[in-house]
Amino acid sequence: MNRRPEGVDLAARSRARRRALQAIYAWQVGGASMAKVIDQFRHEQDMEVADLEYFEDLLLGVEKHQAELDEGLKPFVDREVNQIDPIERAALRLAAYELKYRPDVPYRVILNEAIEVTKRFGADHGHSYVNGVLDKLATHWRTAEKRH
């Protein structure tokens, strides 16, 4: 059943994920602290239309758990995580964080959102790669949910 959690604006969450992907990309390639990236996005992006609390949770979660997320992705990628295209890497880390730490979000939503942001910002076939990796990761981390 796809029921909307009480009080959740799904469009605002979707926008938060798009902004989070861009912010994680900036963090990965720019070398600034995540706190500084969050501050820049608060001032430069149209954040009032996104779920700012969710945006910050995603970014701080990816930063805090980066090593664990990368380790979780490792068995399902064909190269070192740091060698993956930066947009695809950002999408994978973002979705991996949600799969692991946001059980309130259905895995299908996480995968669909990751595919869509990769289609929008990534290379031509990057979304296919992201989909394949995340499908395997979801099977591993969300076994019970994937069975139903």
CATH architecture of 10-147: Orthogonal Bundle (1.10)
Is residue 45 over pLDDT 80? no
112-126 per-position pLDDT tens digit: 999 999 999 999 999
pLDDT of amino acid 138 = 96
CA–CA separation, 29 and 45 (whole Å): 18
Q: Residue ranges of the domains in the chain?
A: 10-147
pLDDT band at 41 (very low <50, low <70, confident <90, very high): confident
Instruction: Give Cα 56 distance to the centre of its chain.
Output: 12
pLDDT of amino acid 144 = 81
CA–CA separation, 142 and 99 (whole Å): 7
Residue showing tokens 């609390």? 53
CA–CA separation, 76 and 1 (whole Å): 28
Q: Between 97 and 41, where is the model more confident?
A: 97
77-97 per-position pLDDT tens digit: 999 999 999 999 999 999 999
Contacts of 31 (CB under 8 A, 6+ apart): none
**Residue from 81, 108, 87, 80 nearest 27 by CA:** 87
Percent of the chain with pLDDT over 90: 76
**Residue from 101, 121, 99 nearest 110 by CA:** 99
DSSP 122: S
DSSP 102: -
Residue showing tokens 């296919």? 128
